[in-house]
Amino acid sequence: MANPRLISFIARSKRRLEILKLLEEHELSQVKLTKLTKMYKGHTSRTLKELSDKKLIACKNQEDRTFRFYKITTLGRRILEEAQKLINT
């Protein structure tokens, strides 16, 4: 089993779970994630930072300060899969 703390971190937040699910399908910008999730820009930004700090997502173009693209990491995919199993049982 993957890290239980990370699984819990994802499972207890709809925002984190939703963003990881979207990034599982496509690499997306913060602007696009904000539109798709209908979150406030600040909520999206904070959630992306939390996920990035935990190494669950990665920014593809860190040097670009205005239009960054994010992708899910291998660890992020494993944690998302485990979190979904817990939620769906």
Strand bridging mode 28-29 / 57-59: unpaired
State how far the Cα of 62 lies from the Cα of 39, in Å rounded to an integer: 22
State how far the Cα of 43 lies from the Cα of 22, in Å rounded to an integer: 16
Number of domains in the chain: 1
Name the residue range of residue 33's domain: 4-87
What six digits make up the tokens of 66? 């205005």
Q: For position 8, what pLDDT does the model report?
A: 93
- Tell me the pTM: 0.90
- pLDDT digits over 16-56, tens only? 999 999 999 999 999 999 999 999 999 999 999 999 999 99
The band of 89, judged by pLDDT with boundaries at 50, 70 and 90, is: low
Q: What's 50's domain CATH number?
A: 1.10.10.10
Q: For position 2, what pLDDT does the model report?
A: 75
